[in-house]
Structures are given as structure tokens and as C-alpha cells.
Chains A and B, each alone.
Chain A
Amino acid sequence: MAKNKRKLLQGNGACVQGAIYAGLRFFAGYPITPSTEIAENCARFLPQVGGRFIQMEDELGSMAAIIGASVTGMKSMTATSGPGYSLMQENIGYAYMTEIPCVVVNVQRGGPSTGLPTKVSQSDTMQARWGTHGDYNAIAVAPSTVADTFTETIRAFNLAERFRTPVTILLDEVIAHMRAIVPIPEEGEYEIVNRVKPTKPPEEYIPYEITENFVSPMPGYGEGYRYHITGLTHNTLGFSTNEPEEIVVKLDKLKNKIDKFQDEIMKLRVNNMDDAEVAFVSYGSVSRAALQAVSLARSVGVKVGTIQLYTIWPFPYDKLREICSRCQKVIVAELNMGQIIHEVRRALPEDIEVLPLQRYDGEILTPTQLLEKLEEVL
């Protein structure tokens, strides 16, 4: 293979390049710090590859437009930050219910409300799981570097297409605005997944047919299949229903299609865990501080490791339990007042002490802070 091209990209720019690599051809968005460069990059680069960019009147409209575009078969994305992510929840729920693939980037900043527009945070972690009302299963991924952002964006698109569901990319201000020289993969270097299209003729097509993997084939509008899509709870034909049996079939479908195929979604980076007595669990930019801290601590013989969650949702309960089985203490480092720590506690047996290291002053956790915490717990 030819030597990869290398390019200086900002995290937000890498997100766009990764998305285009994955097949993004439709972006709708509304400017908001610190995600705006994603919209700007899309405005510039999408028309060059035959794609489309539209600046909508608000985040509600942005989310609606990308779902509309996806319905025609086009891979679509929007990007926002906390306040906009809140506004998008209504139509993200619609995409869960109607099973329309799309990617939503949330470049996290401090909240609640308008909060800290230019400051880093990881306080939307739970919102990515439970942001919209009702019962559903969610997928969220969290890159930690500029290079990661490129590849995790590809993964997010692949997951959206594979599972017919919206996928959230939880970026944060640090990664989004950072620049680094990253390798640009050749075409074909990464697998690109496309949604399954129906093989049955239109007259036999059942829009929400229960298949082996609970994902139904999805034709684009204009491809000869005239079917109905509604945000109302619907039967396999796609029409609204109040029948208890049909309601259960639908909601179970949303749950099972992800629950039963979690292995395809899980991704963790496990570092120095073989003999670790203490582990850091983290995600996003904090993972980089954790890797640095562990590398420094290891240089003086401390048995400490890190587990980085690339997949935040669904949460890797079983994997985490397995990896941490020999640990005495697990430190959950995050930029919020305690969100993913609750899941870590649920995952681990009671004899493993789960300790918080939280920062919510708009600054990133530093390796020194992690090392200080380590000194404290050892």
C-alpha cells in the first residue's frame, strides 16, 4: 500500500474528513461553539464531492433535515454542542423510533444551559443515552485524539448504517479544537458499511420486518418502494398501532437489535492492565491524560493501567468486569460531577473500590492530577 498521506487537521476537521470518507453527503446544522468548524468544513468540502450542506434555522430543523435526507438513502450528519443537542433530542427520538440511520456530533462544553461555550466538559454523557423521552437503545462513541476522531467518525457511520439508528459522537472542546498531523487513509483501507436494501419486490416489502438481527432492509425514497414512516409506535407494516402485542414487538426490536449484537459495537483501549492493581477508567480527552499518567507511574514501578471507553453506549459492563477482575481500585476520571462512574459501579463487584476523579471547572484533567489521585489511593 502506498504511504499514507498526512494532513494537519483540527479535531472538528478530522470529523468532517472521516465522515466524508465514510460516505457523508448531507449535512444540516446550526452554528454553535465549539462545534462550528464542523459546519464550516462541511460547507466547504461537501459540494466538492457532490454532497450537500445546508445551514438550517435551528437545531430542531437541522436534525429533521438530516433524517429527511437519510430517508432518501443519503448518509447524513449534523453537529452541535450541549444547548443544540438538547434541542435536537425531539427529532433524535424520531430517528430512534423510525430507525433511520444518521450521525449526530456533540462537541461537549460546560453546562447546564448556555454554560461554558469555550470550555471543555464531558457532562452530556448521560444525555447521549437518555436524552430523548421513551424507551430505546442508544449508541455513542467517544474519540480522544484528532486521529481517533477521523476513524471513530467512520465507525459511527458504519454503526448507524448497520443498526439503522442514530449514533452520537461525543467529542469535547479539547479534541475538537486541537490540531495534529494525522494519516489520511486510502480508499478501501477502512471498511465502509452501507444500510441493507430490500431484496423483495415492493409489493412484498414489509418496512419493519423482524429479521434475524432485528434490522429491517431500508430502501430510499424514490427507489420504487412506497411506504409509510411515522414517529407513532407502529407495526411491521409501518402504520401506527395501539395493539399491545404490536407495541411490544416494536420496542423489543429497538432493544434487541443493539443488545444482542453488542460485540459488534464495543471498543475499548486497554493499556497496562495485565498486572494492574489500580485502573483508570476514562473516555474522550481525559483518556490521554490517563495514558500519560500511567506511562509516568509505570516508569517508577507503580502497577496501574487504563481502560479507555471508545464505545460509551451501550456500556461495556461485562468487558469491564472481566478486565478489572484483578484490580483493587478503579478510578473513574471524567469532566463532570459523576456520570459514567455510576455505570462502572454497576459493572464491578462490590469488593472493587470505585473512586471518582472529577473536574468540572472548564479545564481538562491533567496527568499530574491523575497521579496525585493515584498517590492518594495507593
Chain B
Amino acid sequence: MAVRILDKIKTSQDRFEIRLSGSGGQGMIFGSVVLCEAIGKEGAKNVVQSQSYGPEARGGASKADVVISSEEIYYPKAMKLDLLLAMTQEALDKYYKDLKENGILVVDTSLVTEMPTKDYYGLPFTQMAREEAGHVMVANVVALGAICALTGIVKKEDLIEAVLLRAPRGTEDRNRKALEIGYNEALKLKK
């Protein structure tokens, strides 16, 4: 007699799973590390970060996952995403299937054109980084600002502090600005 367990289980335990995805060089790993540090700072939440390694991380789709819970995190890898950030079309196509029903999809509309759903938050992160923050390199930080505004999972001040701690010297202003514009623009989108 086969016992059905999987059908009965509600997976929404106290657990929030974020995937930052794009292509190698877009700073997805940096973003995930910063996010971890900002969220874990207070000690109230547990966070675990993991990333794709090896040939997979060279060009092509690159991903970094962050799992957040106020309880002990058992399984450290993402099971069903609560939030997916897709900075490229390839990443979106590859990882959209891992997003939970009613999960939050955030896309960089400067690079992603074909959406699998109407239910998403879109901002041109790369364009915003280049034109408003001063450098395309900080597109990931613009996106972090947006995630912060959309989820409230992390305090903006903590996120800024964590970004500045790890950002190369001399890029502080650029990073601060990137985070602010991402945050402010996303707030306007928030439903």
C-alpha cells in the first residue's frame, strides 16, 4: 500500500527562498552574500547561501540562492523559490520553473523581453545602473534595493551597510545611489 505523503504536505514552513540569477559577472554571488550579511546581522534570522560552481558559473546562467528562516534551516538549498530575480532571459527561462505558485518574480527589463507570466515586477536594472547610478556594474545592487522594497525581508539601512562593507573602495557613492534608486522605483510598483 503506497502512502501518499507528498500530496498532503504544506511546504510553506517558516522559510523564505530567494534566487538571484543572471549571467557570470553580473554580481549575483556578491548580491547573495550581501543579502545574507544584512539579514543575518541581527541574529534573529538564520540564513544560508549557496551558489552554482564550476563550468556552470562561467558565463551562461549563474545563480546564487539564499534561504532565510527564523528557525533552524534544515535543508540548505532552495526547494521552491519564494522570490526569483532574473537578470537575463536565459536565467529566467532556466529557473522560472523553480518559482513557487504566487512566488515573486523580479526581472531586469533591460535584458529580459519574453515573460512567462504577467505576474511579475519589472525594472530596467542594468539601464538604471548605467544611466542613473553611474556604472553598469552596480545593476545587482539596484536589484537588491528593489528586492528590499518588495519583500521587506531586510532593513534598507542594514542592506546599505552590508553593501558598503564589501564594495570596492571608491565605489561607495555609486553603490549607495544604486540601492536607493532600486528601492524607490520598486516601491512605486508595489501592489
Please determine whether chains A and B interact with each other in the same assembly: yes
A residues with a Cβ closer than 8 A to B are 3, 6, 8, 33-34, 117-119, 145-146, 173-174, 177-181, 285, 288-289, 291-292, 295-297, 299-300, 302, 364, 366-368, 371-372, 374-376, 378
Further 9 A-B residue pairs, CB within 8 A, beyond A118-B53, A118-B54, A366-B75? A8-B33, A8-B37, A146-B48, A174-B76, A179-B33, A297-B5, A300-B5, A371-B6, A375-B5
List chain A residues, Cβ under 8 A from B79. Answer: 292, 366-368
Q: Is B168 an interface position by the 8 A CB rule?
A: no
The reply to whether A374 and B5 contact each other, CB–CB distance below 8 Å, is yes
Out of B1, B10, B53, B75, which one reaches A292, CB within 8 Å? B75
Can you list 25 pairs linking A and B with CB atoms under 8 Å apart? Answer: A3-B43, A8-B36, A34-B53, A117-B54, A145-B48, A145-B76, A173-B53, A174-B76, A178-B48, A179-B33, A179-B50, A180-B47, A180-B76, A288-B74, A289-B75, A291-B75, A292-B79, A297-B9, A300-B5, A366-B75, A367-B75, A371-B9, A374-B3, A375-B2, A375-B3
Please give me the 8 A-B residue pairs with the lowest Cβ-Cβ distance, nearest first.
A118-B54, A181-B40, A292-B75, A292-B74, A291-B74, A179-B49, A378-B3, A300-B8
Bitwise, B107-136 to A at CB < 8 A (1) or not (0) is 000000000000000000000000000000
The reply to whether A371 and B5 contact each other, CB–CB distance below 8 Å, is yes
Q: Is B77 an interface position by the 8 A CB rule?
A: yes
> Please, how many angstroms separate the alpha-carbon atoms of A62 and B123 in the complex?
51
> Please, how many angstroms separate the alpha-carbon atoms of A375 and B1 in the complex?
9
Q: Is B11 an interface position by the 8 A CB rule?
A: yes
The reply to whether B5 and A177 contact each other, CB–CB distance below 8 Å, is no
Q: Is B55 an interface position by the 8 A CB rule?
A: yes
> Please, how many angstroms separate the alpha-carbon atoms of A145 and B3 in the complex?
31
Asked if A299 meets B10 with Cβ closer than 8 Å, knowing A118-B55, A285-B76, A375-B2, the reply is yes
The reply to whether A177 and B2 contact each other, CB–CB distance below 8 Å, is no
> Please, how many angstroms separate the alpha-carbon atoms of A277 and B1 in the complex?
16
Name B10-39 residues within 8 Å CB distance of A.
10-11, 13, 33, 36-37
Out of B6, B8, B40, B73, which one reaches A372, CB within 8 Å? B6
The reply to whether A368 and B6 contact each other, CB–CB distance below 8 Å, is yes
List chain A residues, Cβ under 8 A from B10. Answer: 299
Shortest CB–CB separation between residue A60 and chain B, in angstroms?
26
Give the total of B residues in contact with A, Cβ under 8 Å.
33
List chain B residues, Cβ under 8 A from A374. Answer: 3, 5
List chain A residues, Cβ under 8 A from B37. Answer: 8, 181
Asked if A177 meets B48 with Cβ closer than 8 Å, knowing A288-B76, A368-B6, the reply is no
List chain B residues, Cβ under 8 A from A300. Answer: 5, 8-9
Q: Is B190 an interface position by the 8 A CB rule?
A: no
Q: Which residue of A lies closest to B166 (CB)?
A: A8
Shortest CB–CB separation between residue A3 and chain B, in angstroms?
8
Shortest CB–CB separation between residue A121 and chain B, in angstroms?
13
The reply to whether B48 and A180 contact each other, CB–CB distance below 8 Å, is yes
List chain A residues, Cβ under 8 A from B75. Answer: 288-289, 291-292, 366-367
Q: Which residue of B lies closest to A286 (CB)?
A: B75
Name B38-76 residues within 8 Å CB distance of A.
40-41, 43, 46-51, 53-56, 73-76
Shortest CB–CB separation between residue B13 and chain A, in angstroms?
7
The reply to whether B54 and A6 contact each other, CB–CB distance below 8 Å, is no
Q: Is B188 an interface position by the 8 A CB rule?
A: no
> Please, how many angstroms separate the alpha-carbon atoms of A179 and B40 in the complex?
11
Shortest CB–CB separation between residue B15 and chain A, in angstroms?
9
The reply to whether A296 and B76 contact each other, CB–CB distance below 8 Å, is no
List chain B residues, Cβ under 8 A from A291. Answer: 74-75
Q: Is B4 an interface position by the 8 A CB rule?
A: yes
Q: Which residue of B lies closest to A178 (CB)?
A: B50
> Please, how many angstroms separate the alpha-carbon atoms of A6 and B42 in the complex?
9
> Please, how many angstroms separate the alpha-carbon atoms of A364 and B76 in the complex?
11
> Please, how many angstroms separate the alpha-carbon atoms of A177 and B46 in the complex?
17
Out of A146, A177, A288, which one reaches B51, CB within 8 Å? A177
Q: Which residue of A lies closest to B79 (CB)?
A: A367
List chain A residues, Cβ under 8 A from B41. Answer: 6, 181
The reply to whether B53 and A178 contact each other, CB–CB distance below 8 Å, is no
The reply to whether A6 and B40 contact each other, CB–CB distance below 8 Å, is yes
Among A146, A292, A371, max chain B CB count under 10 A is at A292
> Please, how many angstroms separate the alpha-carbon atoms of A292 and B69 in the complex?
13
Shortest CB–CB separation between residue B73 and chain A, in angstroms?
8
Q: Which residue of B lies closest to A370 (CB)?
A: B75
Shortest CB–CB separation between residue B10 and chain A, in angstroms?
7
List chain B residues, Cβ under 8 A from A178. Answer: 48-50, 76
Q: Which residue of B lies closest to A378 (CB)?
A: B3
> Please, how many angstroms separate the alpha-carbon atoms of A117 and B56 in the complex?
12
Shortest CB–CB separation between residue A367 and chain B, in angstroms?
5
> Please, how many angstroms separate the alpha-carbon atoms of A111 and B161 in the complex?
42
The reply to whether A296 and B11 contact each other, CB–CB distance below 8 Å, is yes
Out of A145, A146, A364, which one reaches B77, CB within 8 Å? A364
